[in-house]
């Protein structure tokens, strides 16, 4: 069982990692030359392995449901393969399909995660599958969507190597953003003053002013824009934020300072650009402070603040419907006073990291025997050992 990604190419694999993989295949094949290997669902789903095995002199082919897997010396089970075809195969199986780990009884499922792998560390260097490697080394270079191994491995599983997952400092929600504003989460800050509430980092949204994020930050950031609106007549007005990923609008209706009681719109989730609406009733004309907080957790991002011309509020139409205007360019009863003071927050600090097994094996056949048999037979099976040397990686 491996942590891997179908799209990893030879150019991304270090010589040491290739050595471990070659040794792993040799061990699975019991050093057999000119072996027959089948790849599920097909070679394209594990092209690097198919190429590696072909270069080693083996015959590799796509899985053909009409040919029993038992006619092969090794099956490579990639994502998209039919796990039922190899679950009871009497040949060694190498699997890196995270969603099937539980079906194959090789580990709990762990899903996938996209990251640039940190160093690989050999855990059991004495095992033949380790290829004589030791210590830590770069395994795979570049960002990939890893098919991970589950945290729970069967009893007796041997981990050959593990690798580190590193995560860049992130902003995933309004709590993260508020922590940067409060100074309890590390960040770089940048400021700017703009005439209209439209900031864009790769996501244009509904308005085309598209001020850059202060500091020119891209990808992962928080942004807080503050200013004053002038309301020329009492009444209920609709506001909307268009945001990628999440955001919050507060308006100091009671004119006692901005706080949680002033929430008008709260969208505390990751997602592509979309409008979120809210109404505010002003008992009197006047000047009111407002604050828009927003974040982009990655990819493109933007934040726009719009005001509706519709009387009485309750406007939930598309921002491009004709009833909405961008704050800073409004012609109705609500207008911007002065400029918008924007502060952007670029998260910094320690990368977080965790470790995953990248290469583990155990005798899945033995595990299945124990699971399927009544207790007294399980003990017997346990004592007699597996019927064939399990070489599931
Ligand atoms: Ca825009
Ligand atoms: Ca208030
Ligand atoms: Ca985003």
Pairing of strands 74-77, 93-95: parallel
Across residues 92-111, what is the average pLDDT? 88
Q: Do 84 and 146 reside in the same domain of the chain? A: yes
Residues 67-92: b if buried by 16+ CB within 10 A, e if exposed: eebeebbbbbbbbebebebbbebebb
Between 51 and 142, name the one with better pLDDT: 51
Q: What's the pLDDT tens digit per position in 132-170?
A: 999 999 999 988 989 988 878 888 888 899 888 876 788
pTM (predicted TM-score): 0.57
Residue 4 placed within a domain = no
Q: What percent of the chain has pLDDT over 90?
A: 71
Q: Do 57 and 27 reside in the same domain of the chain? A: yes
Query: What distance in Å separates the CA atoms of residue 335 and residue 307, rounded to the nearest whole number?
Result: 9
Please report which helix (H) or strand (E) contains residue 376, including its range.
helix 375-384
Residue 326 placed within a domain = yes
- How many domains does the structure of the chain reveal? 2
Residue 74 placed within a domain = yes
Q: Do 37 and 107 reside in the same domain of the chain? A: yes
Q: Which of the ligands is closest to the CA of residue 252?
A: 2
**Residues 246, 251, 257, 262: what is their CA dihedral angle, to the nearest 10 degrees?**
-70
Q: Do 126 and 160 reside in the same domain of the chain? A: yes
Which residue segment(s) compose the domain that 139 sits in? 10-168+352-384
- Determine the distance separating the centroid of ligand 1 and the alpha carbon of 293, expressed in angstroms: 16
Instruction: Identify which of 203, 179, 181 has the alpha carbon closest to the alpha carbon of residue 304.
Output: 203
- Determine the distance separating the centroid of ligand 2 and the alpha carbon of 296, expressed in angstroms: 26
Q: Do 93 and 235 reside in the same domain of the chain? A: no
Whichever domain contains 17, its CATH number is 3.40.50
Across residues 41-46, what is the average pLDDT? 96
Residue 3 placed within a domain = no
- Determine the distance separating the centroid of ligand 2 and the alpha carbon of 294, expressed in angstroms: 19
Give the pLDDT score at 352: 52
Q: Do 237 and 376 reside in the same domain of the chain? A: no
Q: What percent of the chain has pLDDT over 70?
A: 89
pLDDT tier at 363, thresholds 50, 70, 90: low
Q: Do 26 and 106 reside in the same domain of the chain? A: yes
Q: Do 180 and 135 reside in the same domain of the chain? A: no
Give the pLDDT score at 351: 56
pLDDT tier at 214, thresholds 50, 70, 90: very high
Give the pLDDT score at 107: 85
Q: What is the DSSP letter of 260?
A: G
Whichever domain contains 291, its CATH number is 2.60.120
Q: Do 341 and 217 reside in the same domain of the chain? A: yes
Q: Do 216 and 331 reside in the same domain of the chain? A: yes
Check whether 231 has a pLDDT greater than 80: yes
Residue 391 placed within a domain = no
Across residues 60-65, what is the average pLDDT? 92
* Whole-number average pLDDT of the chain: 88
Give the pLDDT score at 153: 82
Q: Do 309 and 204 reside in the same domain of the chain? A: yes
Residue 1 placed within a domain = no
- The answer to whether the beta carbons of residues 67 and 74 sit under 8 Å apart is no
- Determine the distance separating the centroid of ligand 3 and the alpha carbon of 333, expressed in angstroms: 32
Q: Which of the ligands is closest to the CA of residue 289?
A: 2
Query: What distance in Å separates the CA atoms of residue 289 and residue 336, rounded to the nearest whole number?
Result: 10
């Amino acid at each position: 069982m491996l942590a891997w990604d179908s799209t990893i190419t030879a150019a991304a694999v270090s010589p040491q990692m290739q050595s471990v993989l070659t040794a792993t295949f040799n061990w699975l094949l019991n050093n057999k030359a000119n072996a027959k290997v089948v790849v599920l669902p097909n070679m394209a789903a594990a092209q690097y392995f198919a190429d590696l095995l072909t270069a080693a002199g083996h015959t590799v082919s796509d899985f053909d449901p009409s040919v029993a897997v038992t006619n092969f010396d090794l099956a490579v089970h990639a994502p998209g393969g039919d796990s039922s075809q190899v679950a009871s195969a009497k040949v060694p199986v190498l699997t890196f399909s995270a969603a099937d780990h539980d079906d194959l009884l090789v580990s709990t499922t762990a899903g996938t995660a996209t990251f640039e792998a940190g160093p690989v560390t050999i855990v059991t260097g004495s095992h033949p599958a380790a290829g004589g490697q030791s210590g830590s080394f770069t395994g795979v270079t570049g960002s990939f969507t890893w098919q991970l191994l589950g945290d729970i491995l069967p009893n007796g599983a041997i981990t050959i190597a593990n690798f580190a997952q590193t995560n860049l400092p992130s902003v995933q929600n309004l709590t993260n953003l508020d922590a940067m504003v409060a100074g309890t989460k590390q960040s770089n800050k940048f400021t700017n003053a703009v005439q209209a509430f439209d900031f864009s980092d790769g996501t244009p949204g509904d308005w085309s002013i598209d001020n850059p994020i202060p500091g020119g930050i891209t990808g992962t950031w928080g942004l807080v824009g503050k200013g004053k609106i002038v309301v020329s007549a009492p009444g209920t007005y609709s506001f909307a934020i268009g945001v990628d990923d999440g955001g919050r609008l507060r308006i100091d209706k009671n004119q006692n300072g901005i706080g949680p009681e002033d929430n008008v719109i709260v969208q505390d989730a990751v997602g592509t650009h979309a409008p979120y609406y809210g109404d505010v009733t002003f008992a009197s004309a006047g000047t009111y402070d407002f604050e828009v907080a927003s974040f982009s957790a990655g990819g493109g991002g933007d934040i726009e603040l719009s005001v509706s011309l519709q009387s009485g509020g309750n406007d939930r139409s598309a921002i491009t419907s004709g009833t909405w205007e961008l704050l800073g360019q409004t012609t109705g009863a609500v207008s911007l006073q002065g400029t918008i003071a924007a502060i952007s927050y670029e998260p910094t600090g320690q990368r977080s990291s965790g470790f995953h097994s990248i290469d583990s094996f155990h005798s899945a056949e033995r595990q299945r025997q124990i699971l399927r048999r009544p207790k007294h037979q399980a003990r017997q099976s346990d004592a007699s050992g597996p019927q064939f040397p399990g070489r599931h990686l």
